[in-house]
A and B are shown apart, each in its own frame.
Chain A
Amino acid sequence: MKKLLAGSAVAALSMTGAAFADAHGTTACLITKTDINPFFVKMREGATAKAEELGVSLQSYAGEVDGDHEAQVDAIETCIAAGAKGILITASDTKAIVEPLRAARDQGILVIALDTPLEPIDAADATFATDNFEAGRLIGAWAAASVDDPENAKIAMLDLAESQPSVGVLRDQGFLTGFGIDVKDPNRWGDEDDPRIVGNEVTAGNEEGGRTAMENLLLQDPEINVVYTINEPAAAGAYEALKAMGRDGEVLIVSVDGGCPGVQNVADGVIGATSQQYPLLMASLGIEAIAQFAEDGTVPEPTEGLDFTNTGVNLVTDAPVDGVESISVSEGQDRCWG
């Protein structure tokens, strides 16, 4: 009820706004998973700045917590009611959101998935995202080239959630591929039988989860020497667990995200290398695409060879290795988010 009231109020307000705006004004919607995660905060900043520049009126919505699917459905309905030209969405539930979005597309609204591909991916008109598999592959290849004896490495896999959301699976499987490990079914983690993998644990992507998960894997094998982490907070937690066991400095930790605290952790030697993604770019490209679509009906084309538009990913490390392209920590700091 609370959400409904708030949603209706926003809708009523925005319609009033639309009535007073000039007739050619373009309205775009940005719907993120939450508005509390620095990644999405950055995304909104990027969208807001670009929208101001292009004279697009932007409405932003977010769920209360990660996984708040209902709030996103409410937001889509509000956007349809507000006569938006386009919706940028980072879906909480990539399968269930498809139906409500179809209703929006039936109204002639351009739907662009940001960061998280929908399932199926063509449920959106376009997807602007990091190539998460490539992000994983880069840290995997870097780790294989950086560890002393990759054939006998002992690897801890610190994943996101037991439900195996696509972003977690892609990074995990990308890392293993980059490291040279057979991933079996590329659509799920945990089915690998390579003896170098000590085990998979889930972290919820935060420090406490990262620490607990690392402790549990160290219990199974105290000699772990390579740690894959789904994101940088989980990596920071894993490092604390290693430090408590006196094993910091001996273990290679790799991660994905490129947030400012994470890149600082690369500078401090907590994380060996991280793959940096660019939320601000995703959102600003999304707004540009909507403005273009409103003008002449152009739908954005995916990057060649991929089924989405790749917004780029860079390996950030001060210990580059042959055959793996990377940028320095200071460049990573210039481009970090959060």
Chain B
Amino acid sequence: MAETTETGTATERVAEFEHGRHGPLARVQHVLHNAPTLVPIIILALSVVAFTVATDGRLLTGLAIKITLEQTAIIAILACAQTLIILTAGIDLSVGAVMVLAYVIMGHLGVTYGVPAPLSILAGMLVAMALGCVNGLLVTRVRLPPFIVTLGMWQIVLATVFLYTGSQSIRSQDIDAAAPMLKVFGERVEIGDWSLRIMGAPTIYAVVLVVLLFATFWYVLNRTAWGRHVYAVGDDRESAELAGVRADRVLLSVYVVAGAIVGLAAWAAIGRVGSISPSSFAEANLDSIAAVVIGGTSLFGGRGTILGTLFGALTVGVFSTGLKLAGANPQWVLFASGCLIILAVALDQWIRRIST
């Protein structure tokens, strides 16, 4: 990698532009390196523009925006949990399954056994946190790779869900009758005559939850000691320990916090889908990883931003809605998100080359 100082005049820059190693491109590389959220923002902006053109503006109608946001919400929440884990150079393959188990528990307690809704929700969230804790303990105490731990947990939890429920859904109407609070995140944000609208379309609480959650974790990761420690442990565990960070304790706490977020996703997912279905969200773990990676967080840990993840999830949502509005069949959405993942990681690698 050529080490260049950016002292060229305007004419030189134009001359060097095509070759890319020096001048403006290097400057772009530098800017992107210093502001890692910029890449996902640019990708999102470009996708919005491209699909707005391709769909004659139909992407920017209230209904299309509402649907994109609602369809993205659950994956975005899971991706928030996933970001924390990936920042520590881990990965969590169990987020989707744990979410399904948590909402199944909420549903069975609240609807089948008549436990008051707040207690049912709490129980579901505690189970998600406890499973996060088990993942964390296996990673820190038994020193197993996160990939292996969560691969195992994914299958164990999925099997538990199917064995427990016999694959039977709990009907939307039964939830309405017994424990409507379970579906609160699917409700519109309305207070009296006032309702929260985006481009004229009414918004549901799940969307508000996403905004609050990402704002909270932006603050936590950037402004608190714990947040700094998460980055430090992910970037270079030994250096972090030498600097006095208790790496294992930080790691364990990350898995528990991620579990809590997954529990929240479970509650929101009931509102989103309406019924409590054990077979839904089969690929949520992979979708959440895709959102994180497209959002610019490095799978090698220590590098990335939580807001990047939000833009990453939205990019997948825009692709999905945009392609469908343009009349493409569903396989193209899968194809496009595959391309996005590779593009995002390639960009990340390119930007990284500037750091020494």
A joins B in a complex:
yes
Q: Which of A22-30, A33-41, A77-85, A113-121 forms part of the interface with chain B?
A: A33-41
Is the CB–CB distance between B172 and A38 below 8 Å? no
Is the CB–CB distance between B279 and A212 below 8 Å? no
Asked if B52 is at the interface of the complex by the 8 Å CB criterion, the answer is no
Bound form: Cα–Cα A233–B275 in Å: 9
Closest to B329 in A: A162
Is the CB–CB distance between A215 and B71 below 8 Å? yes
Q: Mark B46-65, 1 if CB is under 8 A from A, else 0.
A: 00000000000010000110
Our pick among A36, A41, A205, A236 for the contact of B171 (Cβ within 8 Å) is A236
Our pick among A38, A201, A212, A237 for the contact of B275 (Cβ within 8 Å) is A237
- Cβ distance A152 to chain B, nearest Cβ, rounded Å: 22
- Cβ distance A265 to chain B, nearest Cβ, rounded Å: 7
Bound form: Cα–Cα A338–B279 in Å: 15
Closest to B281 in A: A208
**Inter-chain contacts of B198 with A (CB < 8 A):** none
Is the CB–CB distance between B166 and A207 below 8 Å? no
Is the CB–CB distance between B172 and A236 below 8 Å? yes
Bound form: Cα–Cα A274–B16 in Å: 68
- Cβ distance A236 to chain B, nearest Cβ, rounded Å: 5
- A202-B330, A233-B279 as given contacts; A37 in contact with B273, CB under 8 Å: no
Asked if A107 is at the interface of the complex by the 8 Å CB criterion, the answer is no
Bound form: Cα–Cα A211–B166 in Å: 22
**Inter-chain contacts of A204 with B (CB < 8 A):** 279, 282
Is the CB–CB distance between B168 and A162 below 8 Å? no
Asked if A216 is at the interface of the complex by the 8 Å CB criterion, the answer is yes
Our pick among B173, B272, B275, B277 for the contact of A268 (Cβ within 8 Å) is B173
Bound form: Cα–Cα A219–B63 in Å: 7
Is the CB–CB distance between A264 and B171 below 8 Å? yes
Within 8 A of A (CB), among B268-298: 272-275, 277, 279-282
Is the CB–CB distance between A206 and B280 below 8 Å? yes
Q: Mark A213-255, 1 if CB is under 8 A from B, else 0.
A: 0011011101000000000010011011001100000000000
Bound form: Cα–Cα A216–B172 in Å: 21
Asked if B353 is at the interface of the complex by the 8 Å CB criterion, the answer is no
Asked if A287 is at the interface of the complex by the 8 Å CB criterion, the answer is no
**Inter-chain contacts of B70 with A (CB < 8 A):** 215
- Cβ distance B285 to chain A, nearest Cβ, rounded Å: 14
**Inter-chain contacts of A215 with B (CB < 8 A):** 67, 70-71
Bound form: Cα–Cα A66–B186 in Å: 30
Closest to A243 in B: B274
**Inter-chain contacts of A110 with B (CB < 8 A):** none
Bound form: Cα–Cα A236–B280 in Å: 13
Within 8 A of A (CB), among B159-216: 162-163, 166-169, 171-173, 186, 204
Asked if B83 is at the interface of the complex by the 8 Å CB criterion, the answer is no
Is the CB–CB distance between A208 and B321 below 8 Å? no
Closest to B187 in A: A244
Our pick among A190, A222, A233 for the contact of B169 (Cβ within 8 Å) is A233
Asked if B123 is at the interface of the complex by the 8 Å CB criterion, the answer is no
**Inter-chain contacts of B171 with A (CB < 8 A):** 236, 261, 264-265
Is the CB–CB distance between A162 and B330 below 8 Å? yes
Bound form: Cα–Cα A167–B63 in Å: 33
Bound form: Cα–Cα A286–B9 in Å: 84
Is the CB–CB distance between A212 and B71 below 8 Å? yes
Bound form: Cα–Cα A218–B61 in Å: 13
Is the CB–CB distance between A261 and B169 below 8 Å? yes
Is the CB–CB distance between A219 and B277 below 8 Å? no
Which are the 9 A-B pairs with shortest beta-carbon distances? A240-B274, A208-B280, A36-B162, A207-B277, A206-B279, A36-B167, A216-B324, A207-B275, A206-B280
A207-B280, A237-B275 are known contacts; what are 11 more A-B pairs with Cβ within 8 Å? Answer: A204-B279, A211-B273, A212-B71, A216-B321, A220-B325, A236-B169, A239-B274, A240-B275, A244-B204, A264-B173, A265-B171
Ordered by A's residue number, 8 sampled pairs between the chains whose C-beta atoms are within 8 Å are A41-B166, A222-B63, A233-B275, A236-B274, A237-B274, A240-B273, A261-B171, A270-B173
